Amino acid sequence: MGHENMIRISIPPTLRRFCGGEEWVEVRPGTVSDAIGQLQARFNGIRDRLCDERGQIRGSVLVFVNDEDIRFLNQQATQLKPGDQVSIIPAFAGG
């Protein structure tokens, strides 16, 4: 109940051990930064995997909202609406 008011975050396999093995995590609407804060509150240490020491999403981590890269939206200030799906994709591109 109430799931329609939540945002679903897809947790990539490489990060699931930090999230209790969860494949999907639901958070409340807000910005992408808010969502990361909610993840951190629930799964201590996940923020360090996603953000650098300045709190910016690492260059090696892609975040998509409904298949749109947040780098082309409003970055971490991108608003998440109920029903949105967020995908976190570690981009371990070789040099």
Query: Residue 95 domain-assigned?
Result: no
Provide the pLDDT confidence category of residue 93 given band limits of 50, 70 and 90: low
Answer yes or no: is 13 within a domain: yes
pLDDT of residue 22: 96
What is the pLDDT at residue 17?
94
The total number of structural domains in the chain stands at 1
Residue 61 included in any domain: yes
29-86 pLDDT, tens per residue?
999 999 999 999 999 999 999 999 999 999 999 999 999 999 999 999 999 999 999 9
73 in any annotated domain? yes
Domain boundaries, position 77? 3-90
Q: What is the pLDDT of residue 2?
A: 66
- Give the position of tokens 């996940």: 46
Has residue 37 been placed in a domain? yes
Would you mind telling me the total number of residues written for the chain in this entry? 95
pTM of the model: 0.90
For residue 22, what is the domain's CATH number?
Answer: 3.10.20.30
Tell me if 72 is assigned to some domain.
yes
